[in-house]
Amino acid sequence: MQVYETTFIVNPQLEDAGIDQRVAEIADLISSNGGKTIHVDHMGTRRLAYQIQGLTQGYYGCFIYEASEDTPRKLERHFCLNDVYLRHLTVRFEGDPAKLGEKPEEENERRSDGPSRPPVGTRRPDAAPAAKPALPAEAAETTETAAKTEEAAPTPEPEPEKPADTEEPEQL
């Protein structure tokens, strides 16, 4: 037997009882085929990354279970025959199913023992001075081009000043 993870999205326009019934159908299908449910995650209604069948939200559910190789095929058929399932994905679960409820040790240590972060906008006294923000590629090219043209172009010579005693007549 293999350990699998199946994630699915149900149409959120169903009533709560209808959504619970669809989730229960998946659990029944797994157990009726000799599988054992290890973990069930009801993620709830979430916003979709893009519209699916004109919907912008969906109810997400996830099962981690141990079952024979034919169970994912039966689940696939079930998902395809029912229009209330918007999307589904089944993959082989990699990792230790016993550690599903625990958070990683590194994350726990960092949050409890690690230094707290300074408020946004403040700097540590030992921090290096902030670097100038880099110019976008187009602006950098424009600056380089302008510098090259300034070097290449000769500077115009100033016109000699006219002597003070030669004045032009005024025109009225």
127 or 64, greater pLDDT:
64
Secondary structure string (H, E, C) spanning the chain = CEEEEEEEEECCCCCHHHHHHHHHHHHHHHHHCCCEEEEEEEEEEEEEEEEECCEEEEEEEEEEEEECCCHHHHHHHHHHHCCCEEEEEEEECCCCHHHCCCCCHHHHHHHHHCCCCCCCCCCCCCCCCCCCCCCCHHHHHHHHHHHHHHHHCCCCCCCCCCCCCCCCCCCC
Domain ranges of the chain: 2-88
What is the pLDDT averaged over residues 41-45? 92
Tell which wins on pLDDT, 119 or 2: 2
- For 64-118, write each residue's pLDDT tens digit: 999 999 999 999 999 999 999 999 999 999 887 777 665 555 544 444 444 455 5
pLDDT of residue 96: 77
Per-residue pLDDT at 23 exceeds 80:
yes
pLDDT given for residue 112 in this prediction: 45
The highest-level CATH class for domain 2-88 is: alpha beta
Residue 157, Cβ neighbours under 10 Å: how many? 6
User: What angle do the packed helices 16-32 and 71-81 form, to 10 degrees?
Assistant: 150
How long is the chain? 172
36-52 sheet: strands from edge to edge: 36-52, 55-67, 2-10, 85-92
- pTM of full prediction above 0.85: no
